[in-house]
Amino acid sequence: MYQNYFVVDAHTHFWDGSPANQINRYGEGFIKCFYDYHANLSPDEYKWTLEEFERYSEERMIRDLFENGYDDVAILQSTYLTDWYVNGFNTTEQNGRMAERHPGRFIVNGRWDPRDGEAGLEKLERLHERWQLRGVKLYTAEWKGDSKGWKLSDPWAYRYLEKCQDLGIHNIHVHKGPTVYPMNRDAFDVADVDDAATAFPRLNFIVEHVGLPRLEDFCWIATQEPNVYGGLAVAMPFIHSRPRYFAQIIGELLYWLDENRILFGSDYAIWQPKWLIEKFVEFQIPEDMQGEYGTLTPTIKKKILGLNAARLYDIKVPGELDVPDEPVDTGHAVGSGPVSAGSSGSAGSSGSAGSAGSSGTAR
C-alpha cells in the first residue's frame, strides 16, 4: 500500500540468470539484455551491478517488493527457458516454494508450452493441483530444440487454452519477445492474441509490455477484444527517463482500451516497485498534452496500480482502498476506437489508418 493506493504488482520474477546457471551464450545474452534495460531506464540510485542483477536473494526481493516497495500482492511470472538455463530461469516450482514461505504475499503463475503435447497437458493439470493456478505466463518466443517459437493460434495451443478454461485458470499473460526464429518471422506479431481472445472469450489475455514495440497493433486488437488487457511492465520505467513518452503511452492506452484493462507491473528485478509507484502516484499528463490525452485521476491510478489486477485474481481489497463500482463499460474502449477509426463505414478495414495497423498483424 502506498498512501491510499492498494498495489498489486502483476509482473515480478525471482530468477537465476547467473553464469553458473547459464547453459550457453543465449542464456548469457538474455540476462545481459535484461540488464541493459535495467541500467538504461532505472534512476541511478536504483541501479545494481550485473552480478547483483544476475541472481538476488529472497530476502532482498521481499524487502524490495513489500518492505520498501509498497506491493500488497505480487504475481510471480514463471519463465522457464530451460534450453538456456540449467535449472530454468524461474520455474513454477522455484517461485511456488518461495511463495509458500511468505503466505498472502505472492500469487504464483504457471506456464505451459504447446510443443509438449499430451504429456504437457497432464503436467499442467499436476501443476495446477499443486499450486492452484489462477494464471499462466506464456512466452511464445521460447526456444525448444529446433523450434524457435510458437503461436497462440496453433492447434495445440488451443488444446492448452481449453484446458486452462476447464481448470479455471483464467488469466493468460502473454509475453511477446524478440527471440523468434526463423528469422523471417515477425517476433512481435500480436495477431495470434487476437485469434485466441476471440476463440476463448472467458479467458483474460494480458499482453505484457502492452505490445511494445508495437503499441499500435496491441491497441488495435485490445479495442476490439474486451478480454484483452495491457500489462505495463517495461512501459512503466519511462515515467522516469521519458515522462512525456510515458504520458503518450498511458494516454493512448486509456483512449483505445479503458482504465479497467491496464495493469501495473514492475517486472522486478528489472525495475523496483518503490520508485515506479511513487512516481506514478505523483504523475500527471503534462499540461500541453492534456488537450489530447486528458488527465489521470486518482481513481484511474488506483485501478491501474492494483484494483484491476485484484479483480482478475479475486484478491480482496480493503474496503477503504477500493473505488465504488461505476457503470463503466468494461467491454468497450472509452475511445470507441473502431467506430471512430472506421467512420468511413467500412467496419472491416476500419479506415486506412486502421488497415495500416492491422496489416502489421496480418502477416
Partner 1 sequence: MIPVPAGGPSAAAAAAWAALGRVRDPELDQPITDLGFVASLRIEPGLTRVELQLPTYFCAPNFAWLMVADARDALASAGDGRVEVVLLDHFAADEINAGVAAAGGFGSRFDTDGGDPVLAGLRETFDRKAHVAAQERLARALAAQVGERLPDVTLAEAARLAPDATDAVVRRRARLGLSSEFAICDERGAPVTADRLPGWLRFARTVRVSVDGNAALCRGLLETRYGPTRTDPARTDPTRTDPARTDPARTGSAR
Interface residues with partner 1 (CB under 8 A)? 25-26, 29-30, 32-33, 36-37, 39-41, 177-188, 212-216, 219-220, 238, 241-242, 245, 248-249, 252, 255-256, 292, 335, 337, 339-344, 351-357, 359-360, 363
Minimum distance of partner 1 from residue 343's CB (angstroms): 5
* CA neighbor of 196 nearest in space, from 161, 247, 235: 161
Peptide bond into 269 cis (omega under 30): yes
Minimum distance of partner 1 from residue 30's CB (angstroms): 7
Determine the Cα–Cα distance for residues 143 and 149; give it in Å rounded to an integer: 6
Minimum distance of partner 1 from residue 248's CB (angstroms): 5
Closer to partner 1 by CB, 71 or 194: give it.
194
Closer to partner 1 by CB, 99 or 236: give it.
236
DSSP assignment letter at 58 = H
Closer to partner 1 by CB, 36 or 100: give it.
36
Closer to partner 1 by CB, 11 or 214: give it.
214
Query: How big, in percent rounded to 5, are the helix, strand and coil portions of the chain?
Result: 45, 15, 40
Closer to partner 1 by CB, 287 or 325: give it.
287
Closer to partner 1 by CB, 108 or 215: give it.
215
Determine the Cα–Cα distance for residues 302 and 322; give it in Å rounded to an integer: 8
* CA neighbor of 201 nearest in space, from 174, 171, 226, 218: 226
Minimum distance of partner 1 from residue 355's CB (angstroms): 6
* C-alpha to C-alpha distances, 97 to 14, 58, 107, 127, 131, nearest whole angstrom: 11, 11, 11, 13, 10
Minimum distance of partner 1 from residue 211's CB (angstroms): 9
Determine the Cα–Cα distance for residues 50 and 358; give it in Å rounded to an integer: 39
Three-state secondary-structure class, residue 302: helix
Minimum distance of partner 1 from residue 155's CB (angstroms): 21
Minimum distance of partner 1 from residue 183's CB (angstroms): 4
Kind and range of the H or E run holding 226? none
**Three-state secondary structure string covering 96-143:** HHHHHCCCCCEEEEECCCHHHHHHHHHHHHHHHHHHCCCEEEEECCCC
Minimum distance of partner 1 from residue 244's CB (angstroms): 10
Closer to partner 1 by CB, 202 or 363: give it.
363
Peptide bond into 318 cis (omega under 30): no
Beta carbons within 8 Å of 260's beta carbon, 6+ residues apart = 303, 308, 311, 328, 330
Closer to partner 1 by CB, 175 or 302: give it.
175
What phi and psi, each to the nearest 5 degrees, are found at residue 13? Answer: -135, 145
What phi and psi, each to the nearest 5 degrees, are found at residue 315? Answer: -90, 130
What is the Cβ-side half-sphere exposure of residue 242, based on CA atoms within 13 angstroms? 11
Closer to partner 1 by CB, 29 or 318: give it.
29
Minimum distance of partner 1 from residue 340's CB (angstroms): 4
